[in-house]
Amino acid sequence: MLRLIATVLIALGALQAVQAAEPGCETQANDKHLSGAARNSFMTKCERTSAANTQCSAQADDKKLHGAARTSFVKKCVKTAQGSK
């Protein structure tokens, strides 16, 4: 149980660091001057990718992956979570 709590806290810390490093989906959509259906599509994909990336990063932390192995794992995990092949 303690390990689970620690993992969640680490994931939340990583999420905050990522959010500070890269602009949010809303900001990106504004920068691209998207509106209507294009904006809705972009926002859905962006939010899904962000959520998947957070979950996959937490899984990589659990597996203690680093470097190229972590990058490869997270990339494959995000594609799988999005339903891509």
Give me the sign of the Cα torsion angle 62, 66, 68, 69. Answer: negative
What is each CA distance from 63 to 9, 19, 31, 35, 56, in whole angstroms? Answer: 16, 23, 36, 40, 11
pTM assigned to the model:
0.53
Q: Which of 46, 72, 73, 47 is nearest to 62 (CA)?
A: 73
CA distance 76 to 82: 10
Sequential pLDDT tens for the chain (85 residues): 777 777 766 766 655 554 444 568 888 899 999 999 999 999 988 888 888 888 999 999 999 999 999 999 998 998 888 775 4
